[in-house]
Amino acid sequence: METHVTILKSRLDEANLEKLLAVPNEHVHRFIADAIELCNPSSVFVVTDDPDDINRVRRMAIETGEEAVLATEGHTIHYDGLHDQARDKARTRYLVPEGETLGKNLRQIERKKGLAEVKGFLKNSMNGKEMAIRFFCLGPINSIFSIPCIQLTDSYYVAHSEDILYRSGYEYFKSIGNKNDFFRFLHSASRLDRFVSVDIKWRRVYIDYIDDTVYITNTQYAGNTVGFKKLALRLAIRKANREGWLAEHMFIMKVLGPEGRRSYFTGAFPSGCGKTSTSMVKGETIIGDDLAYLRHHKGEVYAANVESGIFGIIRSVNSDDDPVIWNVLNRPGEVIFSNVLIANGTPYWIGDGREVPEEGINYSGNWFKGKTDKKGNEIRHSHKNARYTIKLSELDNLDPKADDPEGVPLHGIIYGGRDPDTWVPVQQSFNWAHGALTMGACLESESTAATLGAEGIRTYQPFANLDFISIPLGRYIQNHLDFVKGLKKVPKIFSVNYFLRDKEGNYLNGKQAKRVWLKWMELRVHEEVGALTTPTGYIPKYDDLKRLFKSVLNQDYKKEDYEQQFEIEVTELLAKIRRIRKKYRASVPDAPDILYRLLNAQKYRLLAARAQFGDSIRPSLFEDED
């Protein structure tokens, strides 16, 4: 410890040293001292929970040029350049000790080799720059959900984003004593050109789960660099595996039932598939849009939001479809826009419902209509994965229990993805195991712009979490099956599909229909409406949806629309089972046997239904649930 304190005394000024040593934790001191020696910053700034420290972070983001001030008070813009616009899955790897493996699904590199490589990139990477030391807490502070975290970064855009997205944790760290149970993140944007990381080919995101440490270099895009998002999720999944809880890629929201009844739901959707818009629908309240911890409490499942802000996809956010977010983005307040077009100090993005200016500044530099890249491809005015960063407290529909240390009791879990032709718009599983496996573990979705690579490719996305599962997938699935053992009350499981299309490619549901599906699910968890039994789950009755469409949306819901939307397509569903079975057989050798048993049972129910009714089965042919 003396050696590390000696390093800190030699590299920090008196004020920052005093702030750091007020945290009585030798493990914290060692991590920071080692990082200073490695990255060699010219100065170090320790950020406490004091508003003056946090305000300095925002000022520095502007003074360094990483953000620029916009016309509306509190709004800033950040750009990631042409080539640093999404999570880099190929260069995100786990550091695995020699002789160990995490299975075929996870990208990994031998630990000693990976540490040598990434530390080589980090060596002297902060020379000429300042290191910011950030303390945060994942989950509500002083609760069963709390996980303390530290991030060291030379990017004040990253540090500013974290202030918006997470609960300050400096004082919390002072209260935990000398515990070594915290997550660590070390990030350097490294060499910059016009405030953008330029050595993208050396971009690395390496996860050392032995020390709960993540090393990040040569990138600024928040999905790669804000360690408390999906990188912390990977560490949390391993921690949850050890301790018997679940860390999930889920929103948390409250759906109001009859006479003001409060029912809480989580939902897992791959990025760009409607997760945030679902959690923000009109008439309901939000607790979080992205990450959730689930734990046992009082014999039930309770959930808490990991974050206190939103790093959301801005594409298609407009006043009609997303009024709550739209209002926040267009009034004074702290907002970071990233990779959108700026014209005369005003941001513009794809699908905002406004006329696109002739020219402005975007992630490619000076932009004009018709601009192309070196390959002749059009550069759109705003990137498809452009983002906004806001505090949850700015939302008019924030739930009063958003920061409750106890969390909220969970009534239902929803799984959804981009599925053009298979799942019906909404259905309920027969039981927990059926839902966790045939809906969660068998989730498929078309890829989007949120990750690097081709779009529109259907891939399997178990639990909408495949990119972040940091333990063997079979173990992760078994953890879900085991999670509800011994509980007095188990949440219901549902699936939704907002992207069902007809043979001409037209979407079969409007964007606001999700509000009706939520109300139906709320009634189902309280057993106040019936359902029809299909081979794949329980679906709504037409009369119930007709009433809900009228009361929720003031729309007349046609019987022919219901019959088309809830038609069971046997061929597509059987093909899905074959795809999933093949994928699991090939790449998940430890998948629980019950997965195959439930898939086989579903297959035989589908075959029996086809023998009786044909290949495309209208919902009116199915009987009421038992």
The CA distance from 267 to 412, in Å, is: 8
Residues 6+ apart with CB under 8 A from 229: 165, 222, 223, 290, 291, 307, 311
Strand ranges (DSSP E) for 37-96?
43-46, 68-69, 75-78, 92-96
Rounded-to-integer distance, Cα 121 and Cα 288, Å: 35
In the block, which residue shows the tokens 């060291």?
Answer: 152
Phi, psi for 82 (deg, rounded to 5): -75, -25
Round to whole Å and give the CA distance between 540 and 499: 18
Cβ atoms of 57 and 163 closer than 8 Å: yes
Report the phi/psi class of residue 344: left, alpha or beta, with left for phi > 0 and alpha for psi in -120 to 50: left
**Residue numbers annotated as active site:** 273
Q: 3-class SS at 427?
A: strand
Amino acid letter, 419:
D
309-313 vs 387-391, strand pairing mode: antiparallel
Q: Tell me the C-alpha distance between 94 and 109, whole Å.
A: 6
| Nearest of 434, 436, 433, 414 to residue 425 by alpha carbon | 414
Cα-based distances in Å from 42 to 186, 292, 437: 16, 37, 52
CA distances for 30 relative to 41, 73, 180, 296, 564, angstroms: 16, 40, 11, 34, 62
The token pair that represents 527 in the structure block:
């057993």
> What would the DSSP string read from start to end of 553-570?
I-----HHHHHHHT-EEH
**Token digits of residue 118:** 């990434």
Q: What are phi and psi of 405, to 5 degrees?
A: -60, -25
Q: Any idea how long the chain is?
A: 626
Report which of 267, 263, 268 is spatially closest to residue 300, judged by C-alpha positions. Answer: 263
Q: Which residues contact 547 (CB under 8 A, 6 or more apart)?
A: none
Q: How many helices (H) and strands (E) does the chain have?
A: 18, 36
